[in-house]
Every structure is written in structure tokens, then in C-alpha cells.
Structure 1
């Protein structure tokens, strides 16, 4: 599996950041943050990011996580906090991808791509214009 692109490893790439406190219980037998804890850390960052857009939901819509992929770059350790930085990747008709990086002590320790999809009644499964505009405003673009 190739390493994430260099631009994904730069905290300045992302428009939104959320500080997450690590916990002693997050450690694995080797003394670093375990995979399940890292997934929860990314989940916390993703939920905090999405809360910015809740007012754009249409009645009866649900936003569901359809896929999550985490790439581990370095070991993360307790007790230092992790900053989860997030931006929007692709935007489709009824789904969007969030791209995130987890940063600890100035370096990227992991990246996460999560695809969210809108579910609900047939007539309200599309991304509405207000939500699309808000997502576009936080979109990441790979540097040329």
C-alpha cells in the first residue's frame, strides 16, 4: 500500500481542526495508540466536522458512513493530544468524501478517507444546493 500523498501529511492542507485527547486506555501492548482508538479519534473529528452542516439537512434525511479507510503513517502515543484536521474531497449527487489527517507533536500519524451517503425517502436523497455550497467551501484540492 503506498503512503498517502505528501500534501495529505501537511496540517495546513485542511480547513477544519479538532483537538482530541488521547487516553491511557487507547494504548496497545506496544505502548502506542491502537487501531480501534485511532478509528474512534477520526470518528470524533468527522462528527465534529459534520455538525457544522446539520442545519443543511432535509427533513427525513440521514447521513450514513458508507466506507472508511485509514492509513497509518507513524505511531501515535499517549498522553499527547491528536489534532484531527478535515476537509471535503469528492462531492457526488448523494455522497461526499471527507479527507482527514491526524497530527501529533507536529507530524502526521495517520490519514482517513470516509465516504458519507444520504439516505431517506427517494425524493430527498440528493445533496441540496445549500449543503453542496457549504461542502464546496471546505473542499480540498490536490496542489498542482
Structure 2
């Protein structure tokens, strides 16, 4: 796996940042955060952002699902230190968008996560204009997405 682009490893590149507390149950037998914990921590931030985007509102039959989720592990994480998740929107398509995130602990990058969300309903329609506008507002700074 190639190392992520340098901009992905800076929390300043992302429009949204939040601290998420790690839990003792997140540890594996080696005493560091296990891979499932990384996925759950990223999911927490992704769901919070989707809620802020209005994704939990039942509007005009709109539905979207996770189509792809890729985590790149860069370093070990530990308990009890919280992690900072930095997240923003990457590419926006006709019926999908990319959520790009990075996880930091004690100021160091420990993982990145790329998630593709795909609109499943209504069939045959493009992203609603209001949602597209909100996604664009949360785009990664400097249009660094290739």
C-alpha cells in the first residue's frame, strides 16, 4: 500500500474535526486499538456528518448507502487517549459522493478512511440540489482531491 498523499495526513486539510473517545473494549490482545475499533470510530464521525447533512431526514424517498469503505492503517492507536477524526467530502458524482477522513492520536496520523456513499432512491434521479450544495460546502480544502 502506498503511503497516503501528504495533505491527507494534516487535520487542517479537512473542514470538520472532532474528538472521539476510545474505549477499553477497543483493545486487542496486543494492547492497541483493533481494526474493528478503527472502523467504528470512523463510522461515528461519518454518521455524525451525515446527520448534519440531513441524511436522517425522510425527504422525498431519498436513500443512500455505503458502497465502499477502505481503511489504511498507518500506526497503532491506544487507550485511553481519544482520537481526533478529521473528515470532509471528496469527489461528488451524479448519484454518489466520497467521504474522506483521517484519524489522529496525540497529534500523529494513525489511519485514513475513504468511503463512497451511493444514492439508491429515488431511482434514475441525481443528487438533490440542496444536498449537493451542502456536500460542496464540506469539500476538502484546496480541492486537493485528485
TM-score (norm 1): 0.93
Question: 1:96 maps to which residue?
Answer: 97
Question: 1:18 maps to which residue?
Answer: 18
Deviation readout 1:5-42 (Å, 9 max, x if unpaired): 11000011110012111001100111110000100000
Question: 1:106 maps to which residue?
Answer: 107
Question: 1:3 maps to which residue?
Answer: 3
Aligned partners of 2:122 and 2:19: how far apart in 1?
35
Contact kept, 8 Å, 1:18 with 1:48, in 2: the verdict is no
The 3 A distance-change label for structure 1 pair 94 and 100 is same
The 3 A distance-change label for structure 1 pair 90 and 43 is same
Question: 1:44 maps to which residue?
Answer: 44
Question: Structure 2 regions of 5+ residues with no counterpart?
Answer: none
Aligned partners of 2:64 and 2:123: how far apart in 1?
14
Poorly superposed stretches of 4+, deviation over 2 Å: 55-58
The 3 A distance-change label for structure 1 pair 138 and 126 is same
The 3 A distance-change label for structure 1 pair 143 and 40 is closer
Question: Structure 1 regions of 5+ residues with no counterpart?
Answer: none
Question: 1:64 maps to which residue?
Answer: 65
TM-score (norm 2): 0.92
Number of residue pairs aligned between Structure 1 and Structure 2: 143
Aligned partners of 1:5 and 1:89: how far apart in 2?
14
SS in 2 for 1:12: helix
